[in-house]
Amino acid sequence: MVKDVSGREGLSAGGLAKELGVTPAEVKKALAAMKVIEADFVKAGCGYYYADRVPELRKALR
C-alpha cells in the first residue's frame, strides 16, 4: 500500500486485484462499471485507489 499526502492508504489496480483474488482487468472493468474514471491519486506516475473502495469493488464483482 502507498499513502497519499494526507496519509490515506491506496492500492493500484493490481494491488486491488490481489486483495480481491481477481485479475487486474476484472478490477478495471468493475471500476468502469462504478463510473470511476480517474484514480483517486497519482504517485510516481502510477494511479492508486483508496483502500476503502475494496467493499464497493467486491459488490461490483459479484
Residues 45-61 have pLDDT tens digits of: 999 999 888 999 999 99
Q: Which pLDDT value is given to residue 13?
A: 92
What per-residue confidence (pLDDT) applies to 62? 85
Q: Any idea what the Cα angle at residue 39 is, between residues 23 and 12, rounded to 5°?
A: 40
Confidence of residue 5 (pLDDT cuts 50, 70, 90): confident
- CB atoms under 10 Å from CB of 1, counted, come to 11
pTM as predicted: 0.84
Helices (H), the chain: 13-20, 24-33, 54-60
- What's the mean pLDDT in 12-20? 93
What are the residue ranges spanned by the domains of the chain?
2-60
Range 2-60 has CATH code 3.40.640.10? no
pLDDT confidence of residue 32: 92
